[in-house]
Amino acid sequence: MIKKFVYSQKVAPYVFVLPFILIFLIFWSYPLANSFVMSFQDRMLGQDPKWVGEANYSKLFTDKVFLTAIKNSVVYMLGTLVLLIPFPMLFAVMINSKLMMGREFFKSSFFLPALTSVAVAGTIFRLTFGEMEGSLMNSFLGLFGVEPIKFLKNGEWSMAALLILACWRWTGVNMLYYLSGLKSIDNEYYEAASIDGASAWQKFKNITMPLLKPTTIYVTTISVYAGLAMFTESLMMFNGNNSPKNIGLTIVGYLYRQGIEKNKLGYAAAVGIVLLVIAMVINLTQLKFSGMFKKEED
């Protein structure tokens, strides 16, 4: 009887998606709801929770350190968007060009940095951007007579260092995304354009870019996600969550500091909810403007 029920074509789909439903309920919905409840409490592990209303939120919006964290995360995210979309797209188009040689070689070697873990890559870059005369970046700049720079004690420089780390790791990956997008563009378009006498730039602007839009939407979505959620890169770069003047503090870093380091679960939960709202708003707006929803409906 049970067997018949489970084997029926009506029930089978639910059996297939059951694992997802369970995981979604237990490890997403429940913690998320819990997080929401906690954000209205003064709560510490091992102590009884106290209801405090919206106090955590009103404190958050006057918390200068939190505002610094938001600023850092948003600047980092925008930085990755500016650097990790146009350039990889351009590189992909170049590699895809008939004139290019050693395609496979460059494709693979640009991908290599993505294989290193943040723990390893962050340490490498921390030492590269050391403030000593002999560390890689300073010894390079020294060739041009530049005095040693304290990269990781200065806001702009350390943001640059974090962005360079991101570029090093992800340029190759994003380039591959664009390459696979290019594969699906029909060559006929280019041939037709050539007959009309279009220049290379016109072809790129009028054919390649619009047809790569789905890829761009995808890359933008994951970059927004990854940019706003960045934490371990900064953790490794500054060898801890406490950077000078909080120049490396991100939203997740602040969540970690409040929730894990200080055991202020309620306050940390509020940080998480704010991050959730920011991420949803940015991504939904982005998807709306790029017309993604219309597409889903077809």
Give least dist CB 82 to other proteins, A: 18
Residue selected from 156, 280, 285, 288 as contacting other proteins according to rule CB under 8 A? 280
Residue selected from 52, 81, 113, 141 as contacting other proteins according to rule CB under 8 A? 113
Q: Which is nearer to other proteins, 79 or 216 (CB)?
A: 216
SS3 64: helix
Half-sphere exposure of residue 218: CA atoms within 13 angstroms, side-chain side: 13
CB 189 within 8 A of CB 197: no
Per-residue contact flags (x/-) with other proteins for residues 17 to 36, judged by CB under 8 A: x-xxxxxx-xxx-xxx-xx-
- Does 123 bind other proteins (CB under 8 A)? Our answer is yes
Per-residue contact flags (x/-) with other proteins for residues 175 to 204, judged by CB under 8 A: -xx-xxx--x--------------------
Local structure of residue 73 (DSSP, 8 states) = H
**241 CB contacts (<8 Å, ≥6 apart)?**
234, 235, 249, 253, 256, 257, 261
Q: Which is nearer to other proteins, 57 or 106 (CB)?
A: 106
Give least dist CB 229 to other proteins, A: 3
**121 CB contacts (<8 Å, ≥6 apart)?**
113, 165, 168, 169, 233, 236
The site that binds other proteins (CB under 8 A) totals a number of residues, namely: 126
- Does 120 bind other proteins (CB under 8 A)? Our answer is yes
CB 231 within 8 A of CB 250: yes
Give least dist CB 144 to other proteins, A: 16
Give least dist CB 206 to other proteins, A: 19
Q: Which is nearer to other proteins, 82 or 132 (CB)?
A: 132
Give least dist CB 205 to other proteins, A: 18
- Contact stretch for other proteins (CB under 8 A) within 75-83, 190-198, 202-210, 229-237: 229-237
CB 166 within 8 A of CB 232: no
Distances from the Cα of 216 to the Cα of 74, 169, 294, angstroms: 19, 18, 16
Residue selected from 5, 12, 54, 156 as contacting other proteins according to rule CB under 8 A? 12
Name which of residues 243 to 272 contact other proteins (CB under 8 A): 243-246, 252, 255-256, 259-263, 265, 268-269, 272
Q: Which is nearer to other proteins, 15 or 146 (CB)?
A: 15
Angle (CA) 53 57 58, round 5°: 90
Q: How far apart are CA 88 and CA 80, in angstroms?
A: 11
Is residue 101 classed exposed, middle or buried when 0-12, 13-18 and 19+ CB atoms within 10 A define those classes?
exposed
Q: Which helix (H) or strand (E) holds 61?
A: none
Give least dist CB 230 to other proteins, A: 9
Give the pairing of strands 41-42 and 50-51. Answer: antiparallel
- Does 213 bind other proteins (CB under 8 A)? Our answer is yes
CB 178 within 8 A of CB 215: yes
Per-residue contact flags (x/-) with other proteins for residues 53 to 92, judged by CB under 8 A: ------x--xxxx-------------------------x-
- Does 139 bind other proteins (CB under 8 A)? Our answer is yes
- Does 134 bind other proteins (CB under 8 A)? Our answer is yes
